[in-house]
Amino acid sequence: MGSTQFAGSNGFGHSMDFMSQAYLRNRSSEIDIEEDSLNMNKDGPLPIFLKFEYVECKVRNSKASSANPVKAVVSKVASRFNLDQDNYKQILKGVTGSVCPGEILALMGPSGSGKTTLLKIIGGRLSENVEGRITIGFVTQDDVLLSQLTVDETLVFAAFLRLPGNMSRQQKHARVGMIIKELGLERCRHTKIGGGFVKGISGGERKGTSIGYEILVDPSLLLLDEPTSGLDSTSANRLLQILQGLAKPSSRMFHMFDKLLLISEGYPLYYGKARESMEYFSDLRFIPEIAMNPAEFLLDLATGQVNDISVPEVLY
Ligand SMILES: Nc1ncnc2c1ncn2[C@@H]1O[C@H](COP(=O)(O)OP(=O)(O)OP(=O)(O)O)[C@@H](O)[C@H]1O
pLDDT-derived band at 306, boundaries 50, 70, 90: confident
**Span from the CA of 271 to the centroid of ligand 1 (angstroms):** 20
CATH class of the region 1-36+47-60+91-136+221-236+252-316: alpha beta
All residues at 6 or more sequence positions from 50 whose CB lies less than 8 Å from its CB, including other chains: 19, 21, 29, 31, 98, 99, 122, 134, 221
Mean pLDDT of the chain: 74
Instruction: Look up residue 229 and give its DSSP letter.
Output: B
Please report the DSSP string for 186-217 in residue order: GGGTTSB--BTTB----HHHHHHHHHHHHHTT
**Span from the CA of 15 to the centroid of ligand 1 (angstroms):** 12
| Residue among 90, 116, 138 whose CB has most ligand 1 atoms within 8 A, to mutate | 116
Q: What is the pTM of this model?
A: 0.60
Q: Is the pLDDT of residue 95 over 50?
A: yes
**Which of 247, 237, 258, 228 has the alpha carbon at shortest distance from 105?**
258
Q: What is the ipTM of this complex?
A: 0.95
**Span from the CA of 115 to the centroid of ligand 1 (angstroms):** 8
User: Are the CB atoms for 263 and 39 separated by under 8 Å?
Assistant: no
Give percent above pLDDT 70 in the chain.
68
Please list every protein residue whose CB sits less than 6 Å from any atom of ligand 1. Answer: 2, 15, 59, 89, 91, 109, 111-117
The mean-pLDDT minimum among 52-66, 104-118, 255-269 falls in 52-66
The 10s digit of each residue's pLDDT in 227-278 is 777 777 777 887 777 777 676 543 355 667 788 999 998 999 999 988 899 8
Q: Where are the domains of the chain?
A: 1-36+47-60+91-136+221-236+252-316, 141-218
Q: Is the pLDDT of residue 7 over 80?
A: no
